[in-house]
């Protein structure tokens, strides 16, 4: 592993002509990520890294688009024609960006925690996140607030919840 | 020497039909290309799309790449041309992507704000850079010297060995250990 | 009668809690009027509101409030060559805008590439209550003209949409007596708790289409995002539906292009809200419920019997809990007659 990475390091410096290490690189996702990061280190040292770094998997978006072009277009088209084509891969758009205003708010979901009033938290293992009545204390019914830390969602759960909420936002606006 | 050139090795493989070699080429150059594009394109939200166009062009043009110039020179030219095309296509068309820029009287949204891009992505990128730079600062002197001469001065292992007065194998090992130490800090951040 | 007076009392209490500053014309609730004719009156007003919302030219400034967040927004609506066009933007913070016509919506967000989605689902602030079939809705809601109030400097009529069961929220609607346009919408739980409010602070109705809206209507829209349709139906079915709800979508799809697994998906709607049900297979089940509530939007998750179910929508928890309990495997080889 270490030896492999040392060879990888030499390979990216053009100091290795061993095809074996290249074969290993082509087969190992882990090595490919290391390859990316080693280059990123160089980019950062030379101040050749952009303000907003591209995703480490950026190449996947490029390949997806190339595949899409191959399917939908017979002749290679230039950039302007592509724009006119006016269809964009949703996978790419959705992989990279949020869906504008419609998902605003999802991030704050876990910021505050309150228990449900009356009864509904009697179940074992029930977790309730973030239900604050409108207007706080001035709301029509006073709520018993729980000042304890919320059972914070794990990163994994948060990611999953965001993905579901995004999908819901999308589904409710596209045709059945 | 040319068989050691990583770009040429990758290009040969691409020309043989190994798609993964193209992935590696993109991975190698993606941030450098994005960095060039930032000099031309104000809205950082557009950078990934234009960078994608650059690599699609590269993919299509690679079968004709004869290696008469260095690959990076060739790539640089494509990048700049794509950026210029993008700019002129933007100015030819009304800026549909900027509703707010159409009519300043009706729209008081600050135009200056538009260059910022996603504040979150910016913060994350800054954090990554800071972690990398701190890790470099903390390297033992001989490791720092080796990687600096390689990455900043672009020197070969042979030249570095002469300057540092040590065997080539030591240079190779020092550069790797430097990268490994920095990568140890960087890896968890990029996987998050 | 006893029942009625109890409701009457609840309404009054509710109303005084929510809007104590408004003079309430309690005469409208006089016992001499029978419930049926009052509901008819309410329906007439509600239908006038729907027509005004889609057919008039107007500009509103409004705020949406849920939990501690208050978001000021602007909406322009115009009818150009017979087609309605709505422009919405956030007034604070990052620039976020949308432009919607009858067949598509475009999103513009600071720092991101704008894009267009093909849709005929109205995404504007009062869409929930302006596309509902109020006559058919009588099965699950009752409508009561509560009285009059004042919103955004306009005299407003207040109508209460009361859910007849605990599986849907109730609503209070304020509408402008002059233009019939909606001015405020409160979402209320069956414990009379206000959980979300959309409120107009200024309204201008104009004869002509706003010139700015006219101008952007001629601009080219950003790229249309293409969404692959899946043919396969959900592997799971619901054996219970909340009153008034119908299944309007059933499929299997991926949440994300990077996902290799598909989830079974069902969408329910009662004409006011749309609810998503996601069912996916998991390895271990804990029987643990997870409830996230953001304003009236609920995200309910239950892991149970090697499956994870997540329900998202503007419904009370009881509804989600009952839906989850009713889920069973779809058996394609046992085709039910009907």
User: B172 and B134 in one domain?
Assistant: yes
The answer to the question of residue B114 being in a domain is no
Confidence of residue B76 (pLDDT cuts 50, 70, 90): very high
**B neighbours by CB contacts (3+ pairs under 8 Å):** A, C
| pLDDT single digits (tens) C265-276 | 999 999 999 999
Give the integer Cα–Cα distance in Å for C226 and B131.
39
Q: What is the pLDDT of residue C110?
A: 65
Q: Are B119 and C110 in contact (CB under 8 A)?
A: no
* Domain count within chain C: 2
Q: Is B92 buried (19+), middle (13-18) or exposed (0-12) by CB count in 10 A?
A: exposed
**What per-residue confidence (pLDDT) applies to B50?**
92
Clarify whether residues C199 and C245 are in a common domain. Answer: no
Residue B149 has pLDDT above 90, yes or no: yes
- The answer to whether residue B102 is domain-embedded is no
Q: Which comes out higher in pLDDT, residue C156 or B63?
A: C156
Domain boundary among B36, B62, B96: B96
Rounded to the nearest angstrom, the minimum Cα separation between A170 and chain B is 21
Check whether residue C111 and residue C159 sit in a common domain: yes
Give the largest Cα separation in chain B, rounded: 69
For chain B, say whether C113 makes contact (Cβ under 8 Å). Answer: yes
CA–CA gap between residue A82 and residue A69 (Å, rounded)? 9
Taking the C-alpha atoms of residue B116 and residue C129, their distance in angstroms, rounded to an integer, is 37
Same domain (yes/no): C158, C250: no
Domain co-membership, C77 together with C177: yes
Which CATH number covers residue B91? 1.10.1740.10
Residue C315 lies in a domain: yes
Query: Chains touching chain A at 3 or more Cβ pairs under 8 angstroms?
Result: B, C
Q: By mean pLDDT, which of B164-178, C116-130, C280-294 is the weakest?
A: C280-294
Instruction: Give the span between the Cα atoms of C334 and C321, in whole angstroms.
Output: 27
Q: Looking at residue A79, what is its pLDDT?
A: 27
Range with the poorest average pLDDT among B67-71, C167-171, C283-287 = C283-287
Q: Are residues B89 and B154 in the same domain?
A: no
Instruction: Pick B17 or B161 by higher pLDDT.
Output: B161
C185 with C272, same domain: the answer is: no
Beta-carbon contacts of residue B55 (< 8 Å; ≥ 6 apart): A59, A62, B26, B30, B33
Q: What is the pLDDT of residues B177-187, one digit of tens each?
A: 999 999 999 99
Q: Identify the weakest region by mean pLDDT among A29-33, B129-133, C29-33, C78-82.
A: C29-33
A143 touches chain B (CB under 8 A): no
* Window B:1-20, CB contacts with C under 8 Å: none
pLDDT in tens, C86-126: 988 888 877 778 889 999 888 877 666 777 888 889 989 99
Mean pLDDT across the stretch B118-129? Answer: 77
pLDDT of residue C93: 74
- Does residue B59 fall inside a structural domain? yes
Instruction: Indicate the pLDDT class of residue A162, thresholds 50, 70 and 90.
Output: confident
pLDDT of residue C259: 67
The pLDDT of B45-52, averaged and rounded, is: 87
pLDDT, averaged across chain C: 83
Residue B142 falls inside a structural domain:
yes
Of C29 and C191, the one with more pLDDT: C191
How far is residue C169's CA from residue C46's CA, in Å, rounded to a whole number?
18
C182 plus C279 within the same structural domain: no
A23 close to B (CB below 8 A): no
pLDDT band at B92 (very low <50, low <70, confident <90, very high): low
Determine the pLDDT at residue C257: 60
Tell me what pLDDT residue C5 has.
47
| Shortest distance, CA B90 to any CA of chain C (angstroms) | 12
Residue B152 in domain: yes
How far from chain centre, in Å, is Cα A2? 29
From chain B, pick out residues whose CB is under 8 angstroms from the CB of A2: 180
- Indicate which CATH number applies to the domain containing C175: 2.50.20.10
Instruction: Please tell me which of the candidates B43, B103, B117 has its beta carbon nearest to residue C215.
Output: B103
The answer to whether residue A150 neighbours chain C at the CB level (below 8 Å) is no
Q: How many domains does chain B have?
A: 2
Residue B35 domain boundaries: 2-96
Residues B11 and B89 occupy one common structural domain: yes
Q: Which residue has the higher pLDDT, B46 or A137?
A: B46
Domain membership of residue C231 (yes or no) is no
Note the pLDDT of residue C92.
81
Would an 8 Å CB–CB cutoff place A45 in contact with chain C?
A: no
Query: How many whole angstroms separate alpha carbon A79 and alpha carbon C296?
Result: 44
Of C94, C114, C215, the CB nearest to B97: C114
pLDDT in tens, A63-119: 888 877 765 433 333 322 222 222 333 333 332 233 333 333 333 332 222 333 333
pLDDT of the residue at C230 = 77
First-to-last C-alpha distance (Å) of chain C: 40
d(CA C226, CA B174): 50
* B110 within some domain: no
The answer to whether residue C205 neighbours chain B at the CB level (below 8 Å) is no
User: B38 with B75, same domain?
Assistant: yes
- What CATH number is associated with residue B175? 1.10.10.10
Tens of pLDDT, residues A5-47:
999 999 999 998 778 888 889 888 899 999 999 999 999 999 9
When pLDDT is cut at 50, 70 and 90, the band that residue C338 belongs to is very low
Are residues B71 and B132 located together in one domain of the fold? no
Please check whether residue C242 lies inside any domain of the structure: yes
* pLDDT confidence of residue C311: 96
Asked whether residue B9 is domain-assigned, the answer is: yes
Q: Of C96, C224, C291, which is closest to A100 when you measure between CB atoms?
A: C96
More confident residue, B122 or B19: B19
Residue C224, domain member (yes or no): no
Q: How many interchain CB pairs under 8 A, A with B?
A: 177
Q: Domain containing C266 — which CATH number? A: 3.30.200.100
**pLDDT, mean of residues A43-68:** 88
CA distance C310 to A44: 42
Is C174 domain-assigned?
yes
Domain that holds residue C126: 2-217
C124 and C152 housed in the same domain: yes
Considering the domain architecture, whether residues C186 and C286 belong to the same structural domain is answered as: no
Domain identity same for C200 and C298: no
Q: Identify the domain boundary among C217, C248, C278.
A: C217
CB pair distance less than 8 Å for B116 and C222: no
Chain B nearest-CA distance from A144, in A, is 34
Same domain, B28 and B76: yes
Decide if C210 is inside a domain. yes
Chains B and C form CB pairs within 8 A to the count of 50
Whether C229 is covered by a domain: the verdict is: no
Checking ipTM against 0.90, whether it exceeds it is no
C112 lies within 8 A of chain B by CB? yes
As beta bridge partners, residue C250 has C266
Distance separating alpha carbons of residues C49 and A84, to the nearest angstrom: 40
Q: What is the pLDDT of residue A103?
A: 36
Q: Is the pLDDT of residue A151 over 60?
A: no
Lowest mean pLDDT, pick from A59-68, B54-63, B114-123, C292-301: B114-123
Examine residue B161 and state whether it is found in any structural domain, yes or no. Answer: yes
Is C208 in the same domain as C240? no
Give the closest of B5, B31, B44 to A40, CB-based.
Answer: B31
Question: Within 13 Å and on the Cβ side, how many CA atoms surround C107?
Answer: 24
Between A126-140, C32-46, C53-67, C125-139, the lowest mean confidence (pLDDT) is in A126-140
CA distance B130 to chain A (A): 9
Asked, for residue C227, whether it belongs to a domain, the answer is no
Residues C23, C104, single domain; the answer is: yes
DSSP-assigned letter for residue B65 = -
**Residue A61: its pLDDT value, please?**
84
Q: How many CA atoms lie within 13 A of C22 on its CB side?
A: 24
Specify the higher pLDDT residue, A162 or C27.
A162
């Amino acid at each position: 592993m270490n030896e492999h990475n040392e060879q990888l390091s030499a390979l990216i410096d053009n100091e290795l002509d061993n095809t074996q290490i290249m074969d290993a690189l082509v087969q190992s996702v882990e090595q490919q990520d290391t390859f990316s990061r080693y280059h990123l280190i160089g980019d950062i040292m030379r101040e050749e890294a952009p303000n907003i770094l591209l995703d480490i998997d950026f190449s996947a978006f490029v390949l997806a688009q190339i595949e899409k072009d191959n399917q939908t277009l017979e002749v290679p088209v230039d950039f302007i024609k592509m724009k006119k084509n006016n269809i964009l891969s949703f996978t790419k758009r959705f992989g990279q960006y949020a869906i504008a205003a419609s998902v605003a708010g999802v991030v704050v979901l876990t910021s505050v925690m309150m228990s449900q009033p009356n009864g509904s938290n009697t179940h074992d293992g029930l977790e309730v996140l973030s239900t604050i009545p409108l207007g706080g204390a001035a709301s029509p019914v006073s709520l018993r607030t729980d000042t304890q830390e919320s059972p914070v969602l794990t990163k994994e759960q948060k990611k999953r919840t965001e993905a579901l909420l995004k999908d819901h936002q999308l589904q409710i606006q596209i045709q059945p | 020497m040319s068989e050691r050139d990583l770009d040429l090795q990758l290009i040969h493989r691409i020309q043989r039909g190994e798609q993964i070699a193209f992935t590696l080429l993109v991975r190698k150059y993606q941030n450098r290309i994005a960095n060039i594009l930032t000099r031309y394109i104000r809205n950082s939200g557009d950078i990934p799309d234009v960078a994608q166009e650059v690599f699609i062009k590269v993919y299509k043009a690679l079968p004709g790449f004869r290696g008469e110039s260095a690959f990076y020179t060739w790539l640089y030219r494509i990048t700049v041309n794509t950026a210029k095309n993008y700019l002129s296509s933007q100015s030819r068309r009304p800026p549909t992507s900027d509703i707010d820029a159409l009519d300043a009287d009706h729209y008081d949204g600050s135009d200056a704000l538009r260059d910022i891009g996603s504040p979150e992505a910016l913060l994350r990128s800054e954090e990554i850079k800071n972690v990398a730079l701190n890790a470099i600062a903390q390297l033992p002197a001989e490791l720092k010297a080796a990687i600096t001469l390689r990455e900043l001065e672009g020197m070969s292992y042979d030249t570095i060995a002469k300057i540092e007065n040590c065997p080539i194998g030591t240079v190779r090992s020092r550069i790797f250990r430097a990268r490994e130490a920095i990568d140890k800090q960087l890896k968890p951040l990029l996987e998050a | 009668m006893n029942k009625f007076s109890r409701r009457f009392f609840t309404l009054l209490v509710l109303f005084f809690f929510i809007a104590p500053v408004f003079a309430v014309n309690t005469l409208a609730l006089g016992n001499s009027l029978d419930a049926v004719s009052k509901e008819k009156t309410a329906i007439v007003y509600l239908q006038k509101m729907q027509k005004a919302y889609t057919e008039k030219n107007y500009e509103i400034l409004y705020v949406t409030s849920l939990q501690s967040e208050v978001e000021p927004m602007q909406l322009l609506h115009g009818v150009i060559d017979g087609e309605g066009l709505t422009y919405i933007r956030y007034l604070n913070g990052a620039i976020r805008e949308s432009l919607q016509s009858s067949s598509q919506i475009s999103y513009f967000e600071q720092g991101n590439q704008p894009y267009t989605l093909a849709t005929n689902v109205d995404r504007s602030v009062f869409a929930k209550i302006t596309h509902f079939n109020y006559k058919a809705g009588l099965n699950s809601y009752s409508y009561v003209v509560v009285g009059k109030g004042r919103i955004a400097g306009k005299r407003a009529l207040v109508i209460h949409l009361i859910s007849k069961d605990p599986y849907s929220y109730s609503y209070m609607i304020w509408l402008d007596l002059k233009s019939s346009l909606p001015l405020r919408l409160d979402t209320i739980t069956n414990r009379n708790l206000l959980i979300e409010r959309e409120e107009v602070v200024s309204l201008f109705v104009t004869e002509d289409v706003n010139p700015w809206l006219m101008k952007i209507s001629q601009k080219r829209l950003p790229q249309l995002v293409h969404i692959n349709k899946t043919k396969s139906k959900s592997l799971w079915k619901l054996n219970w539906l909340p009153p008034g709800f119908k299944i309007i979508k059933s499929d299997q799809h991926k949440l994300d292009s990077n996902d290799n697994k598909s989830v079974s998906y069902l969408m329910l709607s009662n004409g006011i809200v749309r609810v998503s049900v996601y069912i996916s297979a998991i390895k271990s089940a804990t029987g643990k419920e997870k409830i996230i509530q953001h304003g009236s939007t609920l995200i309910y998750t239950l892991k149970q019997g090697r499956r994870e179910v997540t329900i998202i929508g503007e419904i009370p928890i009881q509804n989600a809990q009952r839906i989850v309990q009713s889920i069973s495997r779809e058996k394609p080889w046992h085709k039910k007659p009907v």
